[in-house]
Amino acid sequence: MIGRYYEIGGELNNEYGISYKPRKQQIKMAREIFDTLKSSENLVVEAGTGVGKSLGYLIPLAFQLKRSKKKIRGLVSVGTKNLQSQLWNDRHIIEKMFELEIAMIKGRTSYPCLEKLDKNGYEIRECVNDNLELVAPYVSSEFFTESELCKGRSCTFYDECIPRRKRLEALDADIIIANNTLTVLNIELDGIIMGEFEYAVFDEAHELSDDVRRTLSSQVTPRGMKQTADEGNITEEKLRMSINKFKEVLEEVSKDIEEDMELTEEIAEKFGYIKTVPVLKADEKIEKACKSLNKQIESYNKAIEGAKKGGSIKEYYSFSKTSLNIKQIDVAKFFMKLDSAFKSIIFTSATIFEGKEDLKYFRNFIGKGFPIHRTLDVGTVFDFNRQMKLWCSQDYDKNAVDYPDKVTKVIKRLDSKRKTGEGIVVLFTSVKIMNSVAEQLTEYRVHRQHKKNPNFKEDFLKDREGILLGVKSCWTGMDIKGDKLKYLVIAGLPFDALTWENTKVEEYLKNIGKNPFMDYSVPKMINTLRQGIGRLIRTVDDSGSVFLLDNKLLSGKMYTKTIFQSLPTRIKEF
């Protein structure tokens, strides 16, 4: 039934003409998704680059919506703006094939503020009028507004507000394309932003738990609470619920601080350091901040009572610079709420499994209670054994003093053997190491990732003898086809740096009986590594070599076997 859309002579073939080639992996994916939607089940599906993942899920989703006798809606949620834009550009074929309406919704900060344009750039607003969102990428950042600074209903341009208008338009659409942040907020607020849906597809799902954690973690400020009230989108009950929840957090934090301070004072007095222990000062500041925020909560409780009597919440507002950062570690409760919000959920990514359909990392955070009824790895359209050479060596200790020197030598060696037009990309896990290598390549045409050089990727693509040095976003956010990326150097296995948040995640995993290193650090590293290696082969015509410069790969440690199982081709020593 679904397969006919993808076959020779089918709708996709008719739309794309001779350039279209059926892919058995894409058809397999589409059939499994359609069966899952029909059965009201949840599916995790991995589809490598080149499979055509987007059309692999959009067509069965649209078909399922169209065959329903009543109007039902579908949601496609993604992690990056690039993918959201790509889906938006591909929407026309789905709208044409199924006569459905597709809408895209972004956060407030993606659109210019009309009031700011009116005050500071009237000519801009006058010229672009309804097409303002099309020129948004070219509008200066000073004309955008953070959510907490938006005036909401009191704004002169409230009725014309682009994000508000987009949200209202989206409520009537059959399929909405949204980012994960808005999706998480929509679930938490019971559909207040985008409405309710029967079906959901989460693309780039390997990052979903991180996106959920990031969205649910927040900085609480009085200004933000005022914004919530001013927006008018939140009912009195929801505001009161938020205040009570925040109050509970404050009381818990205050109790912990009190206990910590008593213990710290006792230790400090015993060793005579009462006046110089920095922890004491930090605890006192936090306690002071909690008290200040507690006062703000009391004022908002009064505001609610006043609003009941006909007053305005804004009348009770008093400004404070105090803020409290709350990090959400356990997101299993959210995923249970997510499951109850949809009849069926599809999770898909090019890299969601570790090893052979192993969902260990993904499972750790969605929780044991979340039902995954089906899993599928459709494979890849690429012949990695033919297209990719994967190399590693014992000689590269990332912690050694001379590691940057050795990485530099590899780059110079590759530069001497490459042909004109063949690009070299080096992915780092450390900015410090990247900068050290860059300093040794001053005679080469280096394009280094840096906030002062936002166009480094574009400059690299124009350079026939370029060398790109990148960190973090380059591991996942680059799509370089052909010989422009012939040699990929990975300077170290991408284990996460030790941060406060990661420490808390490890504590959480220990508390639920997991091994933080094997169940969190290793799977997450493997996922990032697979994403990084995936930069090399983007089409069936691409070919090249990857050099993994980390001796841990050949250490014989227990986790290296899992790494090897996850790699697209066999690794060789050089």
pLDDT in tens, 282-291: 455 556 656 6
Please tell me whether residues 359 and 269 are part of one structural domain: no
Over the stretch 414-465, which tens digit does the pLDDT of each residue have? Answer: 999 999 999 999 999 999 999 999 999 999 999 999 988 889 999 999 999 9
Is the residue at 15 inside a domain?
Answer: yes
Sheet holding 388-392, edge to edge: 446-448, 467-471, 424-428, 487-491, 544-548, 388-392, 571-573
Please give the span between the terminal C-alpha atoms of the chain, in angstroms, as a whole number: 50
Q: What is the pLDDT, as a whole number, of residue 573?
A: 93
Task: Kindly tell me if the per-residue pLDDT of 160 is higher than 90.
Answer: no
Nearest to 193 by CA among 209, 169, 214: 169
Last residue of a domain, one of 294, 326, 358: 326
Please tell me whether residues 396 and 373 are part of one structural domain: no
Is the residue at 134 inside a domain?
Answer: no
Is the residue at 186 inside a domain?
Answer: yes
Give SS3 for 78. Answer: strand
**Which of 183-187, 340-344, 364-368 is the most confident on average?**
340-344
**CATH classification of the domain holding 419:** 3.40.50.300
Last residue of a domain, one of 289, 307, 326: 326
Please tell me whether residues 362 and 397 are part of one structural domain: no
Please tell me whether residues 342 and 468 are part of one structural domain: no
Count of domains for the chain: 3
Please tell me whether residues 370 and 423 are part of one structural domain: no
Is the residue at 79 inside a domain?
Answer: yes
User: Would you list the DSSP string of 361-385?
Assistant: HHHHHH-TTS---EEEE---SS-HH
Task: Kindly tell me if the per-residue pLDDT of 72 is higher than 90.
Answer: yes
The CA distance from 473 to 282, in Å, is: 33
Please tell me whether residues 230 and 211 are part of one structural domain: no
Please tell me whether residues 476 and 525 are part of one structural domain: yes
Last residue of a domain, one of 310, 326, 342: 326
Over the stretch 554-566, which tens digit does the pLDDT of each residue have? Answer: 998 989 998 999 9
Is the residue at 464 inside a domain?
Answer: yes
| Domain coverage including residue 196 | 3-101+173-217+331-377
Confidence of residue 10 (pLDDT cuts 50, 70, 90): confident
Please tell me whether residues 319 and 364 are part of one structural domain: no
Is the residue at 164 inside a domain?
Answer: no
Describe the crossing of helices 53-66 and 91-98 by its angle, rounded to 10 degrees. Answer: 30
Q: What is the pLDDT, as a whole number, of residue 503?
A: 83
Is the residue at 495 inside a domain?
Answer: yes
Task: Kindly tell me if the per-residue pLDDT of 484 is higher than 80.
Answer: yes
Is the residue at 156 inside a domain?
Answer: no
Please tell me whether residues 255 and 388 are part of one structural domain: no
Please tell me whether residues 278 and 366 are part of one structural domain: no
**CA quadruple 415, 418, 422, 425: dihedral positive or negative?**
negative
Instruction: Provide the token pair at 397.
Output: 């200790």
Please tell me whether residues 245 and 296 are part of one structural domain: yes
Describe the crossing of helices 53-66 and 81-89 by its angle, rounded to 10 degrees. Answer: 60
Q: What is the pLDDT, as a whole number, of residue 347?
A: 98
Please tell me whether residues 526 and 482 are part of one structural domain: yes
Residue that wins the pLDDT comparison between 372 and 118:
372
Phi/psi for 325 (5° steps) reads: -95, 125
Q: What is the pLDDT, as a whole number, of residue 302?
A: 58
Mean of pLDDT over the chain? 82
Q: What is the pLDDT, as a whole number, of residue 273?
A: 42
Q: What is the pLDDT, as a whole number, of residue 407?
A: 98
Pairing assessment for the beta strands 571-573 and 388-392 based on DSSP bridges: parallel
